[in-house]
């Protein structure tokens, strides 16, 4: 069951400049940064609020590390902006299976590694009214109340 907005993924050309925009304009601070070589992105997570399921909602700022990554190709076509929307669940495997059963295309056979040790999968935007949709199960230490 999807129990929170986990994050909004925002594609940008220059991660440092975009982090600085969010800090200086709104006061949002970086909670975590990492490079995900599999996804081909360098990213910063800005924690905005905690959520009633014991998790949190973040902005995920994404700069491609290579032009042929999914985010790199999306940026070349669309320019900077909202790239995807992610919902948090305690069980991404079960939810992905249930949603696939309903005829929505799930992009990975098995969940892959996401931010902060999470496990993630994506749903095809053409099956989701134009929204590239991610499902996320946080790493055990992240899903606890904190």
- Judged by CB under 8 A, the stretch of 34-42, 48-56, 113-121, 136-144 that binds a copy of itself is 48-56
Q: Are 73 and 67 in contact (CB under 8 A)?
A: yes
- Judged by CB under 8 A, the stretch of 34-42, 64-72, 97-105, 111-119 that binds a copy of itself is 97-105
- Judged by CB under 8 A, the stretch of 33-41, 81-89, 109-117, 136-144 that binds a copy of itself is 81-89
Of 70, 20, 69, which is closest to residue 46 (Cα–Cα)?
Answer: 20
User: Taking CB under 8 A as the rule, does residue 107 contact a copy of itself?
Assistant: no
- Of 39, 60, 63, 142, which one is the catalytic site residue? 60
Tell me how far apart the alpha carbons of residues 66 and 71 are, in angstroms, rounded to a whole number: 9
DSSP 92-103: HHHHHHHHHHTT
The length of the chain is: 146
Which residue number, 113 or 127, has a Cβ lying nearer to a copy of itself? 127
- Residue 137 tokens, joined: 């199960």
Which residue number, 27 or 38, has a Cβ lying nearer to a copy of itself? 27
Query: What residues pair up with 106 in beta bridges, in sequence order?
Result: 123
Of 132, 117, 121, which is closest to residue 97 (Cα–Cα)?
Answer: 121
User: Taking CB under 8 A as the rule, does residue 97 contact a copy of itself?
Assistant: no
Residues with active-site annotation: 7, 43, 60, 84, 134
Interface with a copy of itself by CB under 8 A: which residues?
Answer: 1-5, 8, 10-12, 18, 21, 24-28, 48-53, 57, 79-82, 85, 87, 99, 102, 104, 125, 128-131
């Amino acid at each position: 069951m999807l129990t929170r907005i986990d994050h909004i993924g925002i594609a940008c050309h220059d991660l440092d400049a975009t982090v600085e925009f969010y800090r200086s304009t709104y006061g949002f601070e970086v909670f975590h940064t990492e490079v995900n070589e599999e996804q081909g992105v360098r990213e910063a997570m800005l924690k905005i609020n905690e959520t009633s399921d014991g998790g949190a909602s973040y902005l995920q700022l994404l700069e491609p590390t290579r032009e042929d990554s999914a985010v790199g190709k999306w940026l070349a076509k669309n320019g900077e902006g909202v790239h995807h929307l992610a919902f948090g669940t305690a069980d991404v495997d079960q939810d992905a299976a249930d949603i696939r059963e309903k005829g929505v295309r799930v992009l990975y056979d098995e969940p892959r590694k996401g931010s902060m040790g999470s496990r993630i999968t994506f749903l095809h935007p053409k099956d989701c009214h134009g929204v590239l949709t991610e499902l996320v199960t946080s790493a055990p230490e992240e899903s606890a109340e904190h």
